[in-house]
Amino acid sequence: MNLPEIIPVPIGLKERSIPDIQSKVDTRQLAIDQVGIRAIRHPVKVRDRSHGEQYTIATFNMYVGLPHNFKGTHMSRFVEVLNDHDNVISIQSFREIVKEVANKLDSETSRIEMTFPYFLDKAAPVTGVMSLVDYEVTLYGDLDKEEVSITTSVVVPVTSLCPCSKEISDYGAHNQRSHVTITVRTDGFVWLEELVQLAENNASSQLYGLLKRPDEKFVTEQAYDNPKFVEDMVRDIAGQLIEDERIIAYTVESENFESIHNHSAYARISGVKQAQNGSLRIVE
């Protein structure tokens, strides 16, 4: 069999012959708020209060702002930034990556969203049997005017039991799995575990990966003795976030995936703390 002849092309000639379309000037006078890549996965390392650190896989969305006179951005440079960090990114290096993306793509603004599963060991409430529970964590990094702000969001699955159903029923009450999402900006270090515990402690009951019969009895009765509307959960959590001096802005959401309705129940509350006469006040 005769193979086709391969003729090498000098590197310099290759570079001169390949046009860079993205760098051309655009004349439509329309800047783009965000342009970049989405849903790229990369290994990350996260601080773990119990074990020091844990390794997981994050999904990244990465954007920069594009000035009106630029035709396009160089998408490959986003991937280059990720790969420049020894194949493992930490929360500590996340802030620097937000800056690097903007610098590498000649932009004044950038945004990175890093979403990953975070695992915690949990002991069943009666038997103490251990199991893992995963929580969805997202870090949002925004660069604007050379300042980087980091926002942390944690989705915590819990159980909620309806106070109205309990009140009007001769026996029983409808309950369901709920997702409580706590999103905060902080002035000081806050463990992910603290946000998880805050949500779980203000639900009707926690969720566990593994329960034996004595544990099931306990969590069922605990939920019945501690009914919560979505409104109750977001208010109780927000009240504690307001008291935490490390929290400078917060959003609390609760969504109940109703067991007797073909829809969800939802509530949201948010606030920003501002300094005033040496104290903090909440600005809605």
Q: What's residue 281's pLDDT?
A: 46
Q: What's residue 279's pLDDT?
A: 41
| pLDDT tens-digit map of 265-274 | 999 999 998 7
| pLDDT tens-digit map of 239-262 | 999 999 999 999 999 999 988 899
pTM to 2 decimals? 0.85
Mean pLDDT for the chain overall: 87
Question: Is the CB of residue 236 less than 8 Å from the CB of residue 260?
Answer: no
* 146 pLDDT tier (thresholds 50, 70, 90): confident
Q: Quick check: 130 pLDDT over 70?
A: yes
- How far is it, in rounded angstroms, from Cα 72 to Cα 80? 17
- Helix 91-104 with 76-83: angle, nearest 10 deg: 150
DSSP string, 214-244: HHHHHHHHHHHHS---HHHHHHHHHHHHHH-
Q: What is the 8-class DSSP label of residue 85?
A: S
| pLDDT tens-digit map of 86-117 | 778 888 889 999 999 999 988 889 999 999 99
53-90: string of b/e by CB count within 10 Å (b at 16+)?
Answer: eeeeebebbbbbbbeeebeebeeebbeebbeebeeebe
Q: What's residue 275's pLDDT?
A: 52
Q: Quick check: 7 pLDDT over 60?
A: no
Exposed/middle/buried for 202, CB within 10 Å: 0-12, 13-18, 19+?
buried
Q: What's residue 284's pLDDT?
A: 41
Q: Quick check: 125 pLDDT over 90?
A: yes
Q: Quick check: 216 pLDDT over 80?
A: yes
3 state DSSP class of 100:
helix
Q: Are strands 147-161 and 89-90 parallel, antiparallel or unpaired?
A: unpaired
Query: Considering only 4-18, 107-121, 123-137, 142-156, which range has the smallest mean pLDDT?
Result: 4-18
3 state DSSP class of 103:
helix
Q: What's residue 9's pLDDT?
A: 54
